[in-house]
Structure 1
Amino acid sequence: MLFKQILLPLDGSSVAEEAIGHAVLVARNCGAAIHLLHVQRTAAHSDEHSIDPVHWRLRRAELQSYLNRLAEFISDKEISVTVSVREGRPAEQIVEYCEEAEIDLIVFTAYGKGGISRFHFGSTAQKVFSGAGRSFMIVRPGVTAPSQDQLAYGRILISVDGSPHSEWMACQVAAMMRGQPVELILLQVIAVPEMPRRMPITREEHATREKFVENNRRAAQSYLDEMAQQLENGIKVSFRLVIAENMADSICATAAEEAVDLIAMSAHDWQSGGQRVMGNICQTVMCHSPIPVLVLQDRPEIRQSGEAEDEGFCRIRQEFYSENGAG
């Protein structure tokens, strides 16, 4: 089971509530529990110089009642729900709660009641990305949420780049969607090498670049075909191979062309490895995609637990994990 504990941070706004449908959908497919969390700012963490104690207690009671109503709605879907109201700085409390409750996935909107700003994400979301180290799903407000009667996403675009990180991610998404009427679309974008210079490239250089791209295309074609066969186990799997100069833009464009409901990516790519919170391509797709994006973090403890091999059907690059002492 990919996710066992899903955190849904809410700030009381209708915008933040747009993530509920997605959290419910994932929880259904994984048999996971949902944690509803609201962080109430104290006087020390508020822009206000002082907070009336009576007003503060009333507000806390209102928040508890608000979360309880949402919990009742989610419980009706036969999903286990935990409700919590905490005090302090939102991002810090969310990260702390993730550790305490062993959260696997955080689902939230790109911004909450603070509204749209010149930045791609609200300040709390950005801090959580950096500090939680968990998988997360980012939802753009205003995008039609899945129907509450819907049992799964109909079409999921899975961005792969040949790295062990993306292979692990693809296996996990396939395992999560097993038995559902879903189509997985594997996408690999072959990047056209940049050759920045003042003068146009020569004919020989152009030929060399074309040969390089063609070699990568052939390798990717074979790779995607093998990967699709590995993942096809009661699930419809197809693939797309795109040659482009901008990989992130191509991922977003292909998602729109294929009319998918969800984009799934690994937080890491070939360039970033596992040393950064997330790679540049993942960050860019998150910033610009109007479609919900599921970003998986293959944390060391997950690899060591052997979850990537539990389903039995996914045998792509197992040597990567054994060579790195993780199974």
Structure 2
Amino acid sequence: MLFKHILLPLDGSSVAEEAITHALQLARNCGAEIHLLHVQRTTSHTDEHSIDPVHWRLRRAELRSYLNRLADYISGKEIAVTVSVREGRPAEQIVEYCEEADIDLIVFTAYGKGGVSRFHFGSTAQKVFSGSGRSFMIVRPGEAPPDPDQFAYRRILISVDGSPHSEWMACQVAAMMRGQPAELILLQVIAVPEMPRRMPITREEQATREKFVENNRRAAQTYLDEMAQQLENGIKVSFRLLIAENMADSICKTAAEEGVDLIAMSAHDWQSGGQRVMGNICQTVMCHSPIPVLVLQDRSETRLPGEEDEDSCRIHREFDSDNGAE
């Protein structure tokens, strides 16, 4: 099971509620529990000089009643749910809750009741990205949210680059969607090397660059074909191979052209490795894609030597046994 505990932070706004449908869908696919969380700012964490204690307590009661209504709705769909109201700074409390409840995935909108700003994400979302170390789904609000009872992921674009992180991510998504009437589209974008200079490149340099790209294209063609065959077990898998200068832009355009419901990516790529919170390509796609983006964080690097992630190992064993059965 890919996810066991899914956190859905809500601030009481209709904008934040647009993430609910996606949390429900992922919980169904994984058999996961949904955690509803609201963080109420204390008097020391507000811009107001003073807050009426009675008003503050009434607001807290209203928030808990609001979350309980949502919990009843979710449990009515036979999904386990937990409700929590906390006090303090939202980002700090969300990260702390992730540690305490062993959260696997955070699902939220790019911004909440604060509304759209000149930044791509709200301040809370941005802080949670960098501080939680968890997988997350970012939903770009604006369009009418789909009907939870009718919605399902039918087409998922999986961005791969040949790195161990992206292979692990693709395996996880395939395991999550196995048995579902969905199509996985593997996409690899071969980058055209940049050669910044004042003078145009020579014919010899152009030929060298073209040879480099062609070698990568042939290797990627074989890689994608083999990967599609390995993942294709009770699920439809196809692949696309592109050559482009702007990899993130190509991912977003392909997702729009293919009419996918979801883009899945690894938080890390070949260039970023595991040293940064996320790679530049992932960050750019998250900022510009109107389609929900599921970013998987491979936390194996944070485990101690000899410590094993049972779900990850189980999925990989299934993946390997599938190959041997073919």
Scaled by the length of structure 2, the TM-score of the pair is 0.95
Alpha-carbon shift at residue 152 of structure 1 (Å): 3.1
Give the aligned partner of residue 124 of structure 1.
Answer: 124
- What are the residue-to-residue correspondences of 1:292-303 with 2, within 5 Å? 292-300=292-300
Name the amino acid aligned to 1:285: V
1:203 match? 203
1:54 maps onto 2:54 in alignment: yes
Q: Give 1:313 deviation, angstroms.
A: 3.6
Question: Alignment partner of 1:13: what SS?
Answer: coil
The answer to whether the Cα contact below 8 Å between 1:22 and 1:145 also exists between their aligned partners in 2 is: no
Residue 306 of structure 1, CA deviation:
4.6
Which residue in 2 is equivalent to 1:192? Answer: 192
Structure 1, residues 28-57: CA drift from partner, whole Å, max 9, x if none?
000000000000001100011111110000
The match for 1:319 is none
Q: Residues 28-67 of structure 1 correspond to what in structure 2 (within 5 A)? A: 28-67=28-67
8 Å contact 1:231–1:313 — kept in the other structure? no
Q: Name the amino acid aligned to 2:319.
A: C
C-alpha contact 1:110 1:121 (8 A) present in aligned 2: yes
Distance 1:144-1:231 versus aligned 2 partners, 3 A rule: farther
- Alignment check: 8 A CA contact 1:233 1:313 kept: no
Q: Structure 2 CA distance, aligned partners of 1:149 and 1:313?
A: 30
Match of residue 71 from structure 2:
71
Counterparts of 1:93 and 1:242, CA distance in 2: 42
Divergent runs of 4+, >4 A: none
Question: What is aligned with 2:319?
Answer: 314
Q: Distance in 1 between matches of 2:233 and 2:293?
A: 24
Q: SS at 1:137's partner residue?
A: strand
Q: Which residue of structure 2 lines up, in the alignment, with residue 147 of structure 1?
A: 147
Is residue 264 of structure 1 aligned with residue 264 of structure 2?
Answer: yes
Q: Which residue in the other structure is 1:273 paired with?
A: 273
CA distance in 1, matches of 2:313, 2:57: 49
Task: Give the corresponding residue for 1:26.
Answer: 26
Shift of 1:149: 1.9
1:106 alignment counterpart:
106
- Matched residue type, 1:141: P
Q: Which amino acid in 2 is paired with 1:125?
A: A
Quote how far apart the aligned CAs of 1:305 are: 1.3
Letter in 1 for 2:201: I
2:214 equivalent in structure 1: 214
Contiguous gaps of at least 5 residues in structure 1: 317-327
Equivalent-residue separation in structure 2 for 1:219 and 1:129 (angstroms): 33
Q: Could you tell me the percent identity over the aligned residues?
A: 85
Q: 1-side partners of 2:310 and 2:184: how far apart? A: 23
Q: Equivalent residue for 2:308?
A: 304
Equivalent pairs, count: 316
Equivalent residues of 1:192, 1:245 under 8 A apart: yes
Matched AA of 2:312? A
Partner of 2:157: 157
Question: CA 1:203/1:225 → structure 2, altered by over 3 Å: closer, same or farther?
Answer: same
Which position in structure 2 is the counterpart of 1:228? 228
**Structure 2 unaligned regions, length at least 5:** 322-326
Question: SS at the partner of 2:15?
Answer: helix
Residues 280-295 of structure 1 mapped to structure 2, 5 A cutoff:
280-295=280-295
- Taking only aligned residues, the RMSD between alpha carbons, in angstroms, comes to 1.3
2:324 aligns to what? none
Distance 1:187 1:309 in 2: 25
Distance 2:201 2:226 in 1: 36
Q: CA separation in 1, counterparts of 2:23 and 2:150?
A: 12
- Counterparts of 1:225 and 1:13, CA distance in 2: 44
Preserved contact between residue 16 and residue 108 of structure 1 (Cα < 8 Å)? yes
Distance 2:152 2:100 in 1: 29
- Which deviations, in whole Å up to 9, do the C-alpha atoms of 1:186-224 show, x marking residues without a partner? 000000000011111111110110000000000000000
CA offset at residue 147 of structure 1? 2.8
> What is the aligned partner in structure 1 of residue 246 from structure 2?
246
Q: C-alpha distance in 1, partners of 2:232/2:150?
A: 22
Three-state SS of the structure 2 residue aligned to 1:18 is helix
- For residues 44-74 of structure 1, the C-alpha deviation after alignment (integer angstroms, 9 at most, x for no partner) is 0001111111000000000000000111111
Output the amino acid matched with 1:217: R
Q: Which residue of 2 aligns with 1:176?
A: 176
